RNA sequence: GCGCCUAUAGCUCAGCGGAUUAGAGCGCCGGCCUCCGGAGCCGGGUGCGCAGGUUCGAGUCCUGCUAGGCGCACCA
């Protein structure tokens, strides 16, 4: 838990009051002297948000945690602390000792209502915090090979990476979104030769796709495009020249295609980092030299090795093959070295499940370069299976198992795709229910949340509401009229938002956001069901409820924005 | 063989640093609109793979086992 926003303030206040009470209890002898130090070791973390709101708005587990050091039953510690609690001037309505030794705190209605005013004042900024203190963090994601179209796993990585970056920004880090373009090396040649084969076929010549080449139909499209632009020139080239020329052409075309799909998906990168342009021979040999200087390199069997086992890998890895060529691993190390030289202290890579065997060696290499452990974090985005009616779906019957991202966008759309990808933890396998995602009229989770937003928007534009909506910043005194349980429950959940954002960012778990947004939508619908917003004959209460509705809309809009999902005013 | 991920309701999954009574969506059954958007709300029930361990307390931590997925190149 990160203490930010309204709940963070309350958490700090409660933690402070408990610390003071423990101090007094220790002086008075009702607690042993060890209690002070033991509590100090806990920080503010012992003040938690209970799962069940009948246990209060905040609860301290300090008595349970102090039981060991104090050698006293937790319940008695709780009572000793309770007896010394001084809550004057604090937004706490009541406290209780409960269960095995929790101290539960019920925040006052005044606190809740001030929170509504605070949200209204913050608007678009509500949810932002400064826990990152402006630290630059790089998030690199998707980075697919430009040898074929993006697939659904790439789409998932795009949703997760983009939202993670947004969360980091909101939590006060400076996130940079980077895409690494693998436009160098053997695969470009292979791609070029594959295109060449198709190009020859276009001209009625026999040709075979080379071993390890690319067979997708898109290669034919590329060959056609190439022919239209450079067909004449190509006729005069040697096969080798053609492979190079076509390889570059194809790569550019694929990268453009990736950019287009990602942009359509709402993902805009700060940097498209070309391997060919940046990871030069020079960069590679500098990297090798640095690793040698640091003493982690040795020669064996004609190859140059990095002693990654020093840093937890299960075997050493080759940097330079015995034929003198650098491995991709070395190029990748050079790339990561460059990231850190650009000033990032924290670098997060999102990789596909086919690369999880490479995690250890890459982290080992970064450690070998002298970076702190944890400077590089690698998140594995797991497989996506598209399901339709409980069966594996084949959206693309044309070729293989790879379902293009484009088809997903065409069929499902951006909002549902992104939301669905963000409903699950990135490291668990995802069964994507196409039928459910396509539904626009029923219980699709994304529509559930958007519906709440649209419903509020509808209320706020009712004729009897508009005048009040304009002056919501003046409703402060009326907010005290919000005393219904459904109102308090909703406000309480709205108050969590900044901590939800900060915690999701720090844990690198963007999927928490969709759950939170769903919770807020549920709390709102319940409120709506029990409390009439546009109450007649009671203008103050109406203004208060409009204020709450407007605050809810802010939280929903901000949550959806972080997810990259639209927040419609009507549906 | 080694490594990583996963195992929670009929299905897909949450459960964030261990904490009071384990949740959501879908599916199924039954209620709720003279009223701000019924794309909503309320009710109905089954579950932490197995076995140990640590602890005042384990879905959560540790060990072993079982099952599923993935990875184990001088490929990129």
What tens digit of pLDDT does each residue of A374-386 get?
A: 899 999 888 888 8
Question: Cα A84 to the chain's mean position, in Å?
Answer: 42
For residue A182, give the nucleotide whose C1' atom is nearest its CA: B76
**Nearest protein residue to nucleotide B75, judged by CA and C1' positions:** A328
Our measurement of CA A108 to C1' B18, in angstroms, reads 29
**Mean pLDDT value of segment A188-197:** 91
For residue A387, give the nucleotide whose C1' atom is nearest its CA: B12
Our measurement of CA A390 to C1' B11, in angstroms, reads 8
For residue A99, give the nucleotide whose C1' atom is nearest its CA: B20
- Asked if A422 and A511 touch (Cβ cutoff 8 Å), the reply is yes
Our measurement of CA A78 to C1' B41, in angstroms, reads 39
Over residues A284-296, the pLDDT tens digits come to 999 999 999 999 9
Per domain, the residue ranges of chain A are 5-107, 186-248, 442-563
**Nearest protein residue to nucleotide B24, judged by CA and C1' positions:** A515
Query: Which tokens sit at A27?
Result: 């002086």
Our measurement of CA A69 to C1' B67, in angstroms, reads 42
Our measurement of CA A443 to C1' B39, in angstroms, reads 7
Our measurement of CA A383 to C1' B68, in angstroms, reads 14
**3-state SS, residue A150:** coil
- Asked if A19 and A86 touch (Cβ cutoff 8 Å), the reply is no
Of the listed ranges A50-64, A135-149, A154-168, A377-391, the least confidently predicted one is: A377-391
Our measurement of CA A430 to C1' B37, in angstroms, reads 33
Query: Which tokens sit at A411?
Result: 């069929």
Q: Give CA–CA dist A523/A549, Å, rounded.
A: 11
On the question of pLDDT at A279 being above 70, the answer is yes
Query: Which tokens sit at A284?
Result: 């590679």
Burial classification of residue A22, based on how many CB atoms lie within 10 Å of its CB (0-12 exposed, 13-18 middle, 19 or more buried): buried
- Asked if A261 and A169 touch (Cβ cutoff 8 Å), the reply is no
**Nearest protein residue to nucleotide B12, judged by CA and C1' positions:** A431
Confidence of residue A255 (pLDDT cuts 50, 70, 90): very high
CATH of domain A5-107: 3.30.1360.70
E strand or H helix that includes residue A48: strand A47-48
Complete DSSP assignment for A536-564:
TT-HHHHHHHHHHHHHHHHHHHHHHHHHT
Residue that wins the pLDDT comparison between A88 and A162: A162
For residue A103, give the nucleotide whose C1' atom is nearest its CA: B20
Confidence of residue A389 (pLDDT cuts 50, 70, 90): low
For residue A436, give the nucleotide whose C1' atom is nearest its CA: B26
Our measurement of CA A516 to C1' B29, in angstroms, reads 29
For residue A56, give the nucleotide whose C1' atom is nearest its CA: B20
Report pLDDT for A401: 52
Query: Which tokens sit at A387?
Result: 């399901």
* Residue with the two structure tokens 């406000």: A491
The two beta strands, A376-380 and A317-320, are unpaired
| Mean of all residue pLDDT scores within chain A | 90
Q: Give CA–CA dist A106/A507, Å, rounded.
A: 28
Our measurement of CA A513 to C1' B14, in angstroms, reads 11
Our measurement of CA A543 to C1' B64, in angstroms, reads 62
Q: Give CA–CA dist A160/A152, Å, rounded.
A: 12
Computed over its alpha carbons, how large is the radius of gyration of chain A?
29
Q: Give CA–CA dist A57/A98, Å, rounded.
A: 13
Confidence of residue A388 (pLDDT cuts 50, 70, 90): confident
**3-state SS, residue A357:** helix
Over residues A434-449, the pLDDT tens digits come to 888 887 655 688 999 9
**3-state SS, residue A40:** helix
Report pLDDT for A443: 64
Check if A5-107 and A442-563 are the same fold: no
Report pLDDT for A468: 84
Q: In what order do the strands lie in the sheet with A430-433?
A: A391-392, A384-388, A430-433
For residue A426, give the nucleotide whose C1' atom is nearest its CA: B5
Our measurement of CA A201 to C1' B4, in angstroms, reads 44
**Nearest protein residue to nucleotide B74, judged by CA and C1' positions:** A321
Q: In what order do the strands lie in the sheet with A317-320?
A: A297-300, A303-306, A317-320
- Measured in degrees and rounded to the nearest 5, phi and psi for residue A551 equal -65, -40
According to CATH, the topology of domain A442-563 is: Isoleucyl-tRNA Synthetase; Domain 1 (1.10.730)
For residue A499, give the nucleotide whose C1' atom is nearest its CA: B16
Our measurement of CA A250 to C1' B9, in angstroms, reads 50
For residue A442, give the nucleotide whose C1' atom is nearest its CA: B39
On the question of pLDDT at A400 being above 60, the answer is no
Q: Give CA–CA dist A442/A279, Å, rounded.
A: 50
**Mean pLDDT value of segment A174-198:** 91
**Nearest protein residue to nucleotide B23, judged by CA and C1' positions:** A51
For residue A451, give the nucleotide whose C1' atom is nearest its CA: B39
Report pLDDT for A394: 60
Bases of chain B below 7 A from a protein C-beta are: 2-7, 11-17, 19-21, 24-27, 35-42, 56, 68-76
């Amino acid at each position: 838990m990160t203490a930010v926003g309204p709940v963070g303030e309350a958490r700090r206040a409660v933690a402070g009051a408990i610390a003071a009470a423990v101090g007094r209890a220790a002086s008075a002898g009702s607690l042993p002297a060890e209690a002070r130090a033991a509590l100090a070791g806990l920080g503010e973390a012992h003040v938690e948000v209970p799962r069940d709101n009948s246990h209060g708005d905040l609860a301290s587990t300090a008595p349970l945690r102090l039981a060991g050091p104090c050698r006293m039953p937790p319940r008695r510690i709780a009572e000793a602390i309770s007896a010394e609690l001084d809550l004057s001037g604090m937004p706490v309505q009541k406290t209780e000792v409960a269960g095995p030794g929790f101290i539960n705190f019920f925040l006052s209605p005044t606190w809740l209502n001030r929170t509504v005013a605070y949200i209204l004042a913050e608007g678009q900024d509500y949810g932002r915090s400064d826990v990152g203190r402006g630290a630059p963090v790089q998030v690199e994601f998707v980075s697919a090979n430009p040898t074929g179209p993006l697939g659904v796993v790439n789409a998932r990585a795009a949703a997760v990476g983009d939202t993670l970056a947004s969360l980091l920004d909101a939590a006060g880090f400076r996130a940079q979104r980077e895409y690494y373009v693998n436009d160098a090396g053997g695969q470009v040649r292979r791609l070029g030769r594959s295109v060449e084969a198709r190009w020859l076929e276009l001209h009625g010549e026999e040709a075979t796709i080379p071993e390890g080449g690319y067979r997708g139909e898109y290669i034919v499209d590329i060959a056609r495009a190439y022919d239209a632009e450079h067909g004449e020139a190509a006729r005069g080239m040697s096969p080798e020249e053609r492979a190079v020329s076509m390889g570059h052409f194809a790569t550019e075309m694929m990268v453009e295609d990736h950019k287009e799909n990602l942009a359509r998906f709402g993902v805009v990168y700060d940097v498209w980092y070309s391997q060919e342009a940046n990871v030069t021979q020079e960069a590679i040999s500098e990297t090798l030299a640095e690793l040698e200087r640091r003493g982690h390199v040795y020669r064996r069997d004609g190859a140059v090795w990095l002693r990654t086992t020093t840093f937890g890998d299960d075997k050493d890895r080759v940097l330079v093959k015995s034929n003198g060529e650098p491995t991709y691993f070395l190029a990748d190390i050079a790339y990561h070295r460059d990231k850190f030289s650009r000033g990032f202290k924290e670098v997060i890579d999102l990789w596909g499940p086919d690369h999880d065997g490479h995690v250890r060696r890459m982290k080992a290499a970064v450690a070998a370069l002298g970076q702190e452990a944890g400077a590089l974090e690698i998140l594995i985005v797991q497989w996506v299976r598209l399901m339709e009616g409980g069966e594996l779906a084949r959206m693309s019957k044309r070729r293989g198992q790879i379902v293009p991202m484009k088809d997903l966008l065409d069929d499902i759309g951006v909002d549902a795709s992104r939301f669905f990808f963000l409903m699950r933890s990135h490291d668990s396998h995802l069964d994507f229910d196409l039928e459910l995602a396509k539904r626009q009229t029923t219980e699709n989770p994304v529509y559930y949340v958007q519906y709440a937003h649209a419903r509020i928007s509808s209320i706020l534009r009712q004729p009897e509401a508009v005048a009040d909506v304009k002056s919501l910043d003046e409703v402060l005194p009326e907010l005290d009229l919000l005393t219904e349980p459904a109102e308090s429950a909703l406000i309480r959940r709205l108050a969590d938002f900044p901590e939800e954002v900060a915690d999701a960012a720090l844990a690198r778990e963007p999927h928490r956001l969709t759950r939170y947004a769903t919770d807020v939508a549920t709390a709102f619908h319940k409120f709506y069901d029990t409390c009439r917003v546009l109450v007649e004959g009671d203008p103050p209460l109406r203004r208060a409820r409009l204020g709450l509705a407007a605050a809810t809309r802010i939280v929903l809009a901000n949550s959806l924005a972080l997810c990259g999902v639209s927040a419609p005013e009507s549906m």
